Amino acid sequence: MIHAPHLQEVSRVHGKYIYEVGYHILPYFLDNWDKFKHIPLGVLAHSTHLRGSGVMENGIEKPNVNVILASEISPEDCAQLNLSYLDPSKVNVNDWKDKEAEGVLYVPKAGEILFRVKPG
């Protein structure tokens, strides 16, 4: 879940393209290249970086993660972007902390920090 209650738009610069393509896994774009070849590659990269990994099975996208956006972006826009929606007023950030054993990693200010897993 991306909790950004202040967020009102996905991108001032590339929003038009992002709304055109949505957020998908890389194999989705590769399988539909003719449809998306006119989109700037940086936009496609951004889309795949957010969506994560996954596979295409019989023409159906099967991402490994579900991305939930809790922001001022409407549920309808989230659906168009291929994202799930959560009302940000219903989010208690403390409910997400210390749940690593349940597969939940809470990263405060994640958009400001880049994490890299150290080898070994």
The residue extents of the domains of the chain are 2-112
* Cβ contact 67:96 at 8 Å: no
* pTM, full prediction: 0.83
DSSP string over 32-82 = THHHHTTS-HHHHHHHHHHH--EEEETTEEEES---EEEESS-HHHHHHTT
Question: How does strand 2-4 pair with strand 84-85?
Answer: unpaired
CATH class of 2-112: alpha beta
* Cβ contact 35:20 at 8 Å: no
Q: What is the pLDDT of residue 108?
A: 85
User: Model confidence over 75-114: pLDDT tens digits?
Assistant: 999 999 999 999 999 999 999 999 999 988 888 877 776 6
Q: What is the pLDDT of residue 85?
A: 98
User: Model confidence over 32-74: pLDDT tens digits?
Assistant: 999 999 999 999 999 998 888 899 999 999 999 889 999 999 9
